[in-house]
Structure 1
Amino acid sequence: MRKIFKGLAAALVLVVVLTVLGVGVDGWRLYRNAVEQTGIEQAVEQVRAQEGYTPLDQLPALYPQAVVAVEDRRFYDHNGVDPIAIARAVWVNLRTGSLAEGGSTLTQQLAKNLYFTQEKKFTRKVAEVFTAWDLERRYTKDEILELYINSIYYGEGYYGICSASRGYFGKDPTEMTDYECTLLAGVPNAPSVYAPTVNPDLAAQRQRQVVDSLVDTGCITEQQAQEILAGE
């Protein structure tokens, strides 16, 4: 009986290994096909050529800080993939029996915006990883963050920070207040849920999470947080 169990265990391990290898190979192929059709530099230039593209140094300083704090606080330390975030996502997904958590970094999200669909498949996630590594080899962290901010979806048909700021606040992003920065930074996580024109109460709750993340990462003090939320 023990030999039977050992044989079954070995067979199960083999199946898992072959499945993982298969997904890895398919993900690599998806990545290669994507970048062969549209090169990394070409895809990046398409984003930069869009109307309203806003360089990082023209944004209020708090906005990119808020994005990193709430979305990917180890952004400046990882190489495009965050093992800690992936481990956390795997644990959550195992507990819930879903793919609710992705563990994607800002670089992976940029890769998805440039090349892939929103469909939650392991093959696509692997392709994202290869593309993220490619982006990290070619561009600085600030360039990647700038591209992300200018390409992410903010709900209500708004893509990129300029379109979102004009659409929600009627102003260019250079003119956003700290209150508006923290409100908008929380939207891309779930645009259909956190768009301030759709669910103002949920948008405010998400804004509180953004502000708390800024406090946790030492970007602002608790007093500054209270002033921001009060619109001061």
Structure 2
Amino acid sequence: MKIVNYIKTHRVKFTILIIISIVYWWWLPNQLFTTSCSTILLDENNELLAAQIANDGQWRFPQSDSVPEKFKKCITTFEDEYFDYHPGVNPVSIAKSIKRNFGSGKIKSGGSTITMQIARMMHHNQSRNYYQKLVEILLAVRIELSYKKSSILNVYCSNAPFGSNVVGLSAAAWRYYGRSPEKLSWAENALLAVLPNSPSLIYPTKVN
């Protein structure tokens, strides 16, 4: 009865809350990424024979079904060590980044989780500001409500930049090492895992 009376007393606020909740729930698109992919040719053993660059000039292979365990270990260790436990946002990392940013007077660190990085990539890596960070946080939590952790990691690894117009783990493994991600060594996985953080600064084929 108290709940009913509260709703009647605050009818406008309750209606606004319902509308916001509905908009938030439907905010997430059916497909997180709709960018074009490379045309690939596989043999009868599912080995890559050839590939053609995507329409947007990127080497981006179709999303794979899973992420190899070695790369999962490397990427979560480097990018998001609490990936399996947080709800899309790591409050401790956010608090630390806010402290660093206020200390420097500009946004130098975002404290982004892997899920927040997906949200950022969905918005085409817009410039860093506090409004954009809030959008990333809200969208990251919404993604976590709809996808399993394994699916989220797979989406990230299929769409993260790896430098030299290479997008996604599968394309990176082929372009840099000439084989599938499942056949990479620990050292090769470790090198690829650091690329999405600064893809334009360092990658295996960079000369200078």
Q: TM above 0.5, one fold?
A: yes
Would you say the 8 A contact 1:192–1:198 is kept in 2? no
Cross-structure match for 2:201: 193
- 1 or 2, which has the higher helix percentage? 1
* TM-score (structure 2 length as normaliser): 0.71
| Equivalent residue number for residue 177 of structure 2 | 169
Is 1:106 aligned to residue 114 of structure 2? yes
User: How far did residue 118 of structure 1 move?
Assistant: 3.2
Aligned-pair identity (%): 27
1:41 equivalenced with 2:30 (yes/no): yes
What SS is found at the alignment partner of 1:41?
coil
2:147: which partner in 1?
139
Contact 2:120 2:136 survives alignment (8 Å): yes
Q: Does 1:79 align with 2:87?
A: yes
1:3-54 deviation line (CA, Å, top 9, x unaligned): xxxxxxxxxxxxxxxxxxxxxxxxx9xxx69x75xx432225x379873422
Aligned to 2:63, which of 46, 49, 53? 53
2:72 alignment partner AA:
P
Q: Distance in 2 between matches of 1:148 and 1:105?
A: 11
1:115 shift after superposition: 2.8
> Aligned pair 1:92/2:100, yes or no?
yes
Cα distance in 2 for residues equivalent to 1:115 and 1:94: 25
Cα–Cα, structure 1 residues 175 and 185, in superposed 2: closer, same or farther, change >3 Å? same
Using the TM superposition, name which of 64-73 and 191-200 deviates more: 191-200
- Decide which structure has greater strand share: 2
Runs (5+) with no aligned partner, structure 1: 1-27, 201-232
Distance apart, 1:198 and its partner CA: 2.2
For residue 12 of structure 1, what is the aligned residue in structure 2?
none
Q: Deviations over 1:68-112 (max 9, x none)?
A: 011111111111111110111112112222211000100000111
* TM-fit CA distance, 1:193: 1.6
Runs (4 or more) in structure 1 with deviation over 4 Å come to 47-50
1:121 to 126, 129, 144: 129
For residues 75 and 81 of structure 1, the distance between their equivalents in structure 2, rounded to whole angstroms, comes to 9
Contact persistence 1:162–1:172 (CA under 8 A): yes
For this pair of structures, how many residues does the alignment match? 164
Other structure's SS at 2:30 match:
helix
- The amino acid of 1:193's aligned partner reads L
Gaps of 5+ in 2: 1-19, 38-59
Name the structure 1 match of 2:47: none
CA distance in 2, matches of 1:157, 1:64: 22
Shift of 1:163: 1.2
Structure 2 contact 61–168 (Cα < 8 Å) conserved: no
Change (3 A) 1:192 1:199: farther
Query: Structure 1: how far apart are the matches of 2:106 and 2:207?
Result: 25
